[in-house]
Amino acid sequence: MLRFLTAGESHGPQLTVIVDGLVAGLPLDGPRDIDRDLRRRQGGYGRGGRQKIERDTAEIVGGVRGGRTLGSPVTLVVRNRDWENWRRPMQVEAAGFTPKRVTRVRPGHADLAGALKYGFDDVRNVLERASARETAARVAAGAVAKALLARVGIEVRSLVRRIGPVEMPPPGADGAFDAASVDWAAVEESPVRCPDPGTSAEMVAAIDAARAEGDTLGGVVAVVASNVPAGLGSYSQWDRRLDGLIAQAMCSIQSVKAVELGAGFAGAGLPGSAVHDAPRWVEGEGFRHRTNRQGGLTGGVTDGEEVWAQVYFKPISTLLKPLRSVDLVSRQEINAHYERSDICVVPAGGVVAEAMMAWVLAAAVMDKFGGDSLAELRRAVAAHRRRMRAGGSAGTPRGAAAPAPAAAEA
């Protein structure tokens, strides 16, 4: 089973990630495979002062030798440079501890819910871990997952479709996403990770306007995984359905409030004839579909098409022009506490969403194909892809005596 855990506070000395269950023999290089995504997470127009302080890099401190994984837990460390400014309020030792308590809770943050849960009278105890600084650790884990997926031919990418009121049309036709129609170099060059230059400029202007108003903006990110083999996930139990696992992973990202699989939102308002993807046989490829509105997932199982989802981020909770709130201790109404903050994190959110999509797919790949070494895993995936190209039969020869087909139940 592939799993990861993260630890560490936003202003503590470091974030730690342990990735367990990885095959042995996977080439892994921190600067090449992980730091690139860490840098992408730090970018995007609309980020705040923290990103000027941090220069995130992942140090591999376990599980890799001579550039390849050992099959033991891969341990990564991302240091917080800002820690130098927070040594006293964040110190571990009791002696000499002089916290400046935060008691004014910020609306839209975990501050109040977390303080009520744990009985804290200092909101810093909550915000340090609830903070999206933790997404740096997730992106590091996701980069490891991407390195694994790359070795079995799967690629995960994202783009920004909407920031505040500015939206670009969905790339693709018939309500379906099509990664081949996207200029991915333009995505990476855009300050907001949107491939359409006109929309990109409008998004930047919208962020500037929000900043001038002391306000913040949310938006929508599209994430797509290409060359995913059919048959990942399962319909056999609710907690093994890949659609549910992807939705959970995306919703767990700080400030995500909705996830759309395929053209799910639009589909709810259309007749069935305009929604369902018709299967067809493509010689040399196997069974495919004429459209991909279901996001490459049917019955919680990948169906051989690109897996795509759209992730909805609410506007950043901390506003320069603070919202009304309450003091945890005095119970008086006050203006919310202001802690250095971003204006819009949707471009960075896309990188985090890529990491989560990569993670769920890598776990599904390991679940289905297993193996202790990369070579074993690759052999199993290659055999599966051959079977899919040949029509998917698990071994019963065509024309062999089989029970008479019964009418299919709905």
Ligand X SMILES: Cc1cc2nc3c(=O)[nH]c(=O)nc-3n(C[C@H](O)[C@H](O)[C@H](O)COP(=O)(O)O)c2cc1C
From 102-110, 207-215, 276-284, 400-408, span contacting ligand X (CB under 6 A) = 102-110
- Assess 207 for contact with ligand X (CB under 6 A): no
Residue whose pair of structure tokens reads 């022009």 in the numeric block: 321
The minimum distance between CB 37 and ligand X, in angstroms, equals 12
The phi and psi torsions of 347 (rounded to 5 degrees) equal -60, -45
The minimum distance between CB 88 and ligand X, in angstroms, equals 22
Around Cβ 373, how many Cβ atoms within 10 Å? 15
- Assess 352 for contact with ligand X (CB under 6 A): yes
Residue whose pair of structure tokens reads 């884990």 in the numeric block: 141
DSSP string, 289-314: ES---STTEETTEE-SSPEEEEEEEP
* Residue from 110, 147, 309, 362 binding ligand X (CB under 6 A): 110
- Assess 345 for contact with ligand X (CB under 6 A): yes
321 burial via Cβ count (<10 Å: 0-12, 13-18, 19+)? exposed
From 227-235, 239-247, 329-337, 347-355, span contacting ligand X (CB under 6 A) = 347-355
Around Cβ 390, how many Cβ atoms within 10 Å? 9
Subset of 254-273 contacting ligand X (CB under 6 A)? 254-255
Which residue lies nearer to ligand X by CB, 274 or 320?
320
From 130-138, 170-178, 184-192, 241-249, span contacting ligand X (CB under 6 A) = 130-138
Going from the C-alpha of 257 to that of each of 246, 303, 338, the distances in angstroms are: 14, 26, 22
- Assess 190 for contact with ligand X (CB under 6 A): no
From 92-100, 105-113, 238-246, 377-385, span contacting ligand X (CB under 6 A) = 105-113
Subset of 13-52 contacting ligand X (CB under 6 A)? 48
- Assess 317 for contact with ligand X (CB under 6 A): yes
**Are 317 and 26 within 8 A, CB to CB?**
no
Helix/strand/coil percentages in the chain, nearest 5: 35, 20, 45
* Residue from 102, 130, 147, 363 binding ligand X (CB under 6 A): 130
Distance CA 170, CA 221 (A): 11
Distance CA 146, CA 95 (A): 44
DSSP string, 225-294: EESPPTT-B-SSSGGG-HHHHHHHHHHTSTTEEEEEETTHHHHTTS-GGGTPPPEEEETTTEEEES---S
Distance CA 41, CA 351 (A): 6
* Residue from 308, 349, 357, 361 binding ligand X (CB under 6 A): 349
From 129-137, 162-170, 382-390, 396-404, span contacting ligand X (CB under 6 A) = 129-137
Which residue lies nearer to ligand X by CB, 290 or 340?
340
Subset of 132-171 contacting ligand X (CB under 6 A)? 132, 135
**Are 350 and 153 within 8 A, CB to CB?**
no
* Residue from 57, 91, 234, 341 binding ligand X (CB under 6 A): 341
Binding track, positions 296-315, relative to ligand X; x by CB under 6 A: ------------------x-
The minimum distance between CB 107 and ligand X, in angstroms, equals 10
- Assess 192 for contact with ligand X (CB under 6 A): no
Residue 19 parent element (H or E)? strand 14-20
Sign of CA dihedral 32, 29, 361, 286: positive
The minimum distance between CB 345 and ligand X, in angstroms, equals 4
The minimum distance between CB 367 and ligand X, in angstroms, equals 27
From 198-206, 249-257, 291-299, 324-332, span contacting ligand X (CB under 6 A) = 249-257
In the complex, which residues of this chain contact ligand X (CB under 6 A)?
A: 48, 108-110, 130-132, 135, 253-255, 314, 316-318, 341-342, 345, 348-349, 352
